[in-house]
Amino acid sequence: MNIIKTLILSLLFSTPCFAFTKAGDEFKAIESLLQRTESQRATQMRLQELMQQLQDEQVAFIQGSGDKAQAAKMVELGDQILHLIEQNNYNDLFPLAYLEELRLFSKMAQKKGPAKP
C-alpha cells in the first residue's frame, strides 16, 4: 500500500499538469476578471441610462413640447450612445435601424461642433 501511495504522490508532483503556481496567482486572475466585469457592467448601466433619456426626450419632442434645446439634447444623447456602443463593440447587439438613427444624431453633433461655454 505504501508503494502505491508513494507512486501516486511522485506522479502528482512530477507531472507539469499538477504543478503548483505561485501562491495567489489564481486569486489575482479572478480579481482582475471581477474588476473587468464590474467595469463592463457600469458601462452597460450608463448606456441603458442614456438610452432611456434619449427615448424620454424623443417622446416629449413628438408630443409637442419640443424646441431647439430639446432637439440639441437628443443629438447629444444619440452621439454619446453611439460612441459607447462603438467603443465597447456592442454594434451587433442592436438593430441596424437603431444604429442608423444614432449615426444620424452623431452626424448632426459633428456638424454642430463642440459645445460653447
Judge whether 32 lies within some domain: yes
- Average pLDDT on 86-115 reads 91
- pLDDT score, position 117: 39
25-60 and 68-87 helices cross at what angle (nearest 10)? Answer: 150
Q: For all residues of the chain together, what is the average pLDDT? A: 86
Judge whether 74 lies within some domain: yes
Domain that holds residue 92: 27-112
Count of domains forming the chain: 1
Judge whether 5 lies within some domain: no
Judge whether 15 lies within some domain: no
| Residue pLDDT, tens place only, 7-18 | 676 666 655 554
CA–CA gap between residue 75 and residue 4 (Å, rounded): 74
Judge whether 35 lies within some domain: yes
Q: What percent of the chain has pLDDT above 90?
A: 62
pLDDT category at 2 given cuts 50, 70, 90 is confident
20 pLDDT more than 60? no
- Average pLDDT on 9-38 reads 75
Judge whether 61 lies within some domain: yes
Tell me the C-alpha to C-alpha distance, in Å, between residue 80 and each of 5, 29, 70.
Answer: 64, 32, 15
44 pLDDT more than 90? yes
- Average pLDDT on 77-81 reads 97
Judge whether 84 lies within some domain: yes
116 pLDDT more than 60? no
- Average pLDDT on 54-83 reads 92
Judge whether 22 lies within some domain: no
